[in-house]
Amino acid sequence: MIKYGYAQRVITPPLGTQMAGFLGERKAVGIHDDLYAKSLFLEFDDNQKFLLIALDTLAISSDFSQAVSSEVERRIGISRDHIFIAATHTHSGPEGLQSTKLITPDGKVLHVGNIDTALFNFTVEQTVNSAMESVKEALPGKLLFGECPFTERVFGNRRDFDTHGQSPTFKMLMLQGEGGDKALLYNFGCHPTVLHEQNHFISADFPGQVASLLTQQISELKFAMFFNGAAGDVSTRFYRQKSDFDELERIARVMAESIAKCMANTEELVLDPNKFQTLTIPVQLKIKEMPPTNVLEDMLKQAQDELQSAEEKGERNLRPWQSKVEGIESLIRTSSAIDGAEFIETALHIMNLSDLIFVGIPGELFSTLGRQIEEMLKPKKVFVVGYASDYIGYIPDMSAYDEGGYETLSTLLKRGEGEGLIDIIEKHI
């Protein structure tokens, strides 16, 4: 028997806020659905307490995670290492909560990103309030685990349609109280980009819509939250028919139906608190060599010409060419900001709860690397969680660098650093 509690607080920013996830100015003109900071509290035997927190935002910085964890520890005594925080990565939320720490050869720390101080402080406070409320509401229950395939494919590898293979699976933890009430945490990797850059309405995208549908349709389900996974190269690109709210509803219904069916196929998971281990592993990752400005400008001109040619030929899906242009534009912007830095400074956050393990990755891990982590840690129930505790951008596998594309153009990481993260995880577990 364990105790669990849950709570959520609204973190919707004011209208006029710059929206994150796409290049260019994009101000919020309305609110389609609220954004939330969601907290799930778990208390095991021997007074071992853990908090799992998900925020409907593009990304969070290490400073944000530390601010929340420090304040929660101060107010209610839960150790910082026992607080696991991640963003859902919606592209219809605010900019202003993420930055990346870079280290120069002489030890100088640079920050790449845009922090909105007022939004940062508001979101920290709401997140802390959510965490405290989840602890306050804790009741006895049991923990169940499920893993199921989606009944219909609505997302896959966005870089290559031919690599999709079988339908992706998802994992879930379900908490069930003595009275039958349930709380749910579900996990899979996919970009929340059903809504594209034309959208100017605040939305949690499919993570919010799925949670809303589940709690509306299942009377005993009182709470649902999403941990995104290894989503660096995964999206709805080849499966969405449009990029509007009707399409968001359709895709969310497919996901919700699959998750609801899986709830009936969960099995109780009994964990051994004597085997619990939490790790925060500081890492420094090498930054790739940036091409000179004139080379980048030539690359951009060529990519723009290729996009124009594709438009003139009447190509139905222009996204690959658009992504290449956006990737080079991102690279130009980043190259001017890194100022000779050689390393990215970040951390991995791991909660190893005997047969259950959460592996927090501070960025957009490619799905191949996510599967490597899962295989490496079998037979544990593995939740690979992206956008966790920090944000360092895309984390591609080595083969992606040969293939090119938006993700490898815009990443700061030197080839092989993604595989290096896998090695670090293996050494510490």
Give 157's strand partners: 234
Angle between helices 245-263 and 205-217 (to 10 degrees): 50
Task: Please give the DSSP secondary-structure letter assigned to residue 305.
Answer: H
Distance, in Å, from the CA atom of 389 to the CA atom of 97, rounded to the nearest integer, reads 12
Per the domain annotation, does 220 fall within a domain?
yes
Per the domain annotation, does 324 fall within a domain?
no
pLDDT digits over 214-270, tens only? 999 999 999 999 999 999 999 888 888 888 999 999 999 999 999 999 999 999 999
In the predicted structure, residue 114 carries a pLDDT above the cut 70: yes
pLDDT digits over 169-215, tens only? 899 999 999 999 999 999 999 999 999 989 999 999 999 999 999 99
The SS3 assignment for 119 reads helix
For the chain, give the percent of residues with pLDDT over 90: 73
Q: Which domain holds residue 240?
A: 2-268
DSSP string, 30-61: EESS--EEEEEEEEEGGGEEEEEEEESSS---
Per the domain annotation, does 305 fall within a domain?
no
Distance, in Å, from the CA atom of 204 to the CA atom of 12, rounded to the nearest integer, reads 10
Return the pLDDT at 331. Answer: 78
Per the domain annotation, does 390 fall within a domain?
no
Residue 217: in which H helix or E strand, if any? helix 205-217
Distance, in Å, from the CA atom of 287 to the CA atom of 410, rounded to the nearest integer, reads 12
User: How many CB atoms sit inside 10 A of residue 193's CB?
Assistant: 24
Return the pLDDT at 162. Answer: 57
Per the domain annotation, does 126 fall within a domain?
yes
Per the domain annotation, does 347 fall within a domain?
no
Per the domain annotation, does 288 fall within a domain?
no
pLDDT digits over 393-402, tens only? 999 999 999 8
Let me know: does 105 contact 207? Beta carbons within 8 Å: no
Distance, in Å, from the CA atom of 271 to the CA atom of 380, rounded to the nearest integer, reads 11
State the pTM of this model: 0.94
CA atoms within 13 A on the CB side of 309: 8
Q: Nearest to residue 340, comparing CAs of 100, 110, 112, 104?
A: 104
In the predicted structure, residue 161 carries a pLDDT above the cut 70: no
Let me know: does 269 contact 144? Beta carbons within 8 Å: yes
Overall number of domains in the chain: 1
Return the pLDDT at 146. Answer: 97
Per the domain annotation, does 232 fall within a domain?
yes
